[in-house]
């Protein structure tokens, strides 16, 4: 089924799918709790306050898979804690390493059997993890594997955070001494459609008592949910924001990013300018190059016109082909010509290298391949 952005889906991009989701077994999932919340549990158990830090450290930094691994807590305390909170790590069901580069893709199974994917992109200085925030996606961008089957459900904050915890564990087990130090929320799903769990998750990932990854090393990416961009501007956080632009005129953008019908470019740019003004943070615009769709000379001209007065960065991304979809990436010559036209117009840009094409390393592709394999 090709995802159409129906009225129903526009109304329900995700937020309502999480409200009221009960934690498994009625107990809160430890891996989605903040230090103050863990402190609350510790106080209820009449334990000294420092226990909260120990528990947070087991959960986030040491990736404990069970309460019994928390060896500096007494057996009776572990039993009591297990009565008040649960610990259900994601199950790793597939790991594929790219033959061409330092990219590894992980497919995780959630408690209800749903599958999500997480991609590790190693570098000399950075170990970047690309994390998912929803199972599927309601936005239905025409070129994207994640939106093909629509939105299944939102991920909880515990599930979002646990991707980092579990991959860190894998990295440590593999003997690589460098933990993940950069996060891009660019996996499956639209993070701002799962606003509160996604924000809670990145705050835990950022916190000293959590994963301790600096706010400037965490990037949220959105397809352009205008009201949520305004909301994000009020959060007073230092995370980076990327906006998936992909076209500089409404006709083209609506044809590939259907949310543009609801929030056209004029509104989107106004929201982005507000965000930059309110936070003093520079937005990065993402632009996936699709042959014959948005890589024409006219597109470059439109892009220059749209962005040249803004303090922003532009990131050109070669398209990673998705089986069954009619889009292709332009050849290198054409990509360079497009980039040159943008630079000549005064735009600052970077071109992302293609990584891990052999392991379907673009959002939603591994899950799609897996569901095709089993279906
Ligand atoms: N939903 C959010 C974040 C996840 S998608 C968003 O759209 O921004 C992260 C980025 O990957 C987006 O810029 C998206 O357009 C891009 N993308 C999706 N499918 C792709 C593919 N097959 N090849 C290259 N980039 C892709
Ligand atoms: Fe959803 Fe982003 Fe894919 Fe669009 S590109 S369908 S918003 S995950």
The DSSP string of 54-68 is: HHHIIIIIS--SSGG
Last residue in a domain, options 60, 84, 108: 84
Question: Residue 183 falls within a domain, yes or no?
Answer: yes
pLDDT at 362: 53
Round to whole Å and give the CA distance between 138 and 298: 30
Ligand 1, atom 1: nearest CA belongs to which residue? 190
Q: Is the pLDDT of residue 173 over 90?
A: no
pLDDT at 184: 93
Provide the domain count of the chain: 2
What mean pLDDT do residues 291-305 have?
A: 97
Query: Ligand 1: which of 133, 244, 322, 353 to mutate, judged by most atoms within 8 Å of the beta carbon?
Result: 244
What mean pLDDT do residues 166-175 have?
A: 90
pLDDT bracket for residue 148 (50, 70, 90): confident
**Which of 92-101, 267-276, 290-299, 317-326 comes out lowest in average pLDDT?**
92-101
pLDDT at 131: 95
Instruction: Compute, in angstroms, the gap from residue 36 CA to the centroid of ligand 2.
Output: 34
Q: 285: Cβ–Cβ under 8 A, 6 or more apart, which residues?
A: 242, 243, 244, 245, 307, 312, 313, 314, 315
How far does CA 183 lie from the centroid of its chain? 8
Instruction: Compute, in angstroms, the gap from residue 144 CA to the centroid of ligand 1.
Output: 7
What mean pLDDT do residues 100-128 have?
A: 89
- Asked if 75 and 118 sit in the same domain, the reply is no
Ligand 1, atom 3: nearest CA belongs to which residue? 186
Helix (H) or strand (E) holding 316: strand 312-318
| Contact indicator for 40, 220 with CB cutoff of 8 Å | no
Round to whole Å and give the CA distance between 4 and 159: 27
What mean pLDDT do residues 338-347 have?
A: 96
Q: Work out the mean pLDDT of the chain and round it to a whole number.
A: 88
Residue with tokens 């690589």: 176
pLDDT at 7: 37
- Asked if 214 and 265 sit in the same domain, the reply is yes
pLDDT at 329: 92
Q: Is the pLDDT of residue 130 over 60?
A: yes
**Which of 28-32, 121-125, 167-171, 221-225 comes out lowest in average pLDDT?**
121-125
pLDDT at 19: 38
Q: Is the pLDDT of residue 87 over 60?
A: yes
pLDDT bracket for residue 13 (50, 70, 90): low
The number of the ligand 1 atom at minimal distance from the alpha carbon of 144 is 19
- Asked if 98 and 145 sit in the same domain, the reply is yes
- Asked if 311 and 275 sit in the same domain, the reply is yes
Question: Residue 1 falls within a domain, yes or no?
Answer: no
Query: Which residue range(s) make up the domain with 62?
Result: 34-84
Q: Within 10 A of 319 (CB to CB), how many other CB atoms are there?
A: 21
Query: Ligand 1: which of 150, 189, 194, 221 to mutate, judged by most atoms within 8 Å of the beta carbon?
Result: 221
Between 154 and 359, where is the model more confident? 154
- Asked if 241 and 315 sit in the same domain, the reply is yes
Question: Residue 26 falls within a domain, yes or no?
Answer: no
pLDDT at 103: 86
Q: Residue 163: which CATH number?
A: 3.20.20.70
Please report which ligand is nearest the Cα atom of 146.
2
Instruction: Compute, in angstroms, the gap from residue 190 CA to the centroid of ligand 2.
Output: 6
Between 335 and 4, where is the model more confident? 335
Q: What are phi and psi of 53, to 5 degrees?
A: -65, -40
- Asked if 189 and 74 sit in the same domain, the reply is no
Helix (H) or strand (E) holding 132: none
What mean pLDDT do residues 25-54 have?
A: 95
Q: Residue 44: which CATH number?
A: 1.10.150.530
- Asked if 66 and 146 sit in the same domain, the reply is no
Please report which ligand is nearest the Cα atom of 325.
1
Q: Is 258 in the pocket of ligand 2 (CB under 6 A)?
A: no
- Asked if 79 and 151 sit in the same domain, the reply is no
- Asked if 67 and 173 sit in the same domain, the reply is no
């Amino acid at each position: 089924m090709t995802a159409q952005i129906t009225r129903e889906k526009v109304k329900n991009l995700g937020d309502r799918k999480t409200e009221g989701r009960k934690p498994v077994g009625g107990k809160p999932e430890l891996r989605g709790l903040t230090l103050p919340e863990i402190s609350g549990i510790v106080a209820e158990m009449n334990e000294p306050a420092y226990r909260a830090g120990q528990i947070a450290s087991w959960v986030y930094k040491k990736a404990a898979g069970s309460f019994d691994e928390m060896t500096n807590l007494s057996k009776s305390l572990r039993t009591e804690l297990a009565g008040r909170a649960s610990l259900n790590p994601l199950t790793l069901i597939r790991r594929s390493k790219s033959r061409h580069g330092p990219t590894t893709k992980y497919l995780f199974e959630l408690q209800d059997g749903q599958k999500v994917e997480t991609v590790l992109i190693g570098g000399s200085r950075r170990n970047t993890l690309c994390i998912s925030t929803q199972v599927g996606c309601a936005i239905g961008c025409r070129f994207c594997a994640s939106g093909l089957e629509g939105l299944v459900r939102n991920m909880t904050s515990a599930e979002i955070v646990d991707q980092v915890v579990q991959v860190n564990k894998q990295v440590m087990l593999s003997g690589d001494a460098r933990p993940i130090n950069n996060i891009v929320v660019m996996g499956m799903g639209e993070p701002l459609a799962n606003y509160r769990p996604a924000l809670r998750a990145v705050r835990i990932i950022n916190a000293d008592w959590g994963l301790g990854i600096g706010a400037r090393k965490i990037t949220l990416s959105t397809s352009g949910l205008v009201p949520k961009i305004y909301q994000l501007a009020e959060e007073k956080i230092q995370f980076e924001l990327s906006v998936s632009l992909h076209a500089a005129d409404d006709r083209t953008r609506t044809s590939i990013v259907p949310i543009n019908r609801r929030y056209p470019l004029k509104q989107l740019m106004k929201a982005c300018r507000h965000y930059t003004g309110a936070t003093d943070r520079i937005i990065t615009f993402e632009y996936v190059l699709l042959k014959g769709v948005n890589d024409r000379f006219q597109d470059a001209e439109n892009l220059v016109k749209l962005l040249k007065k803004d303090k922003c960065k532009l990131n050109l991304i070669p398209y990673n082909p998705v089986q069954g979809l009619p889009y292709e990436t332009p050849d290198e010559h054409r990509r360079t010509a497009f980039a040159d036209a943008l630079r000549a117009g005064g735009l600052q840009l970077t071109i992302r290298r293609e990584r891990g094409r052999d392991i379907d390393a673009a959002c939603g592709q591994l899950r799609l391949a897996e569901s095709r394999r089993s279906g």
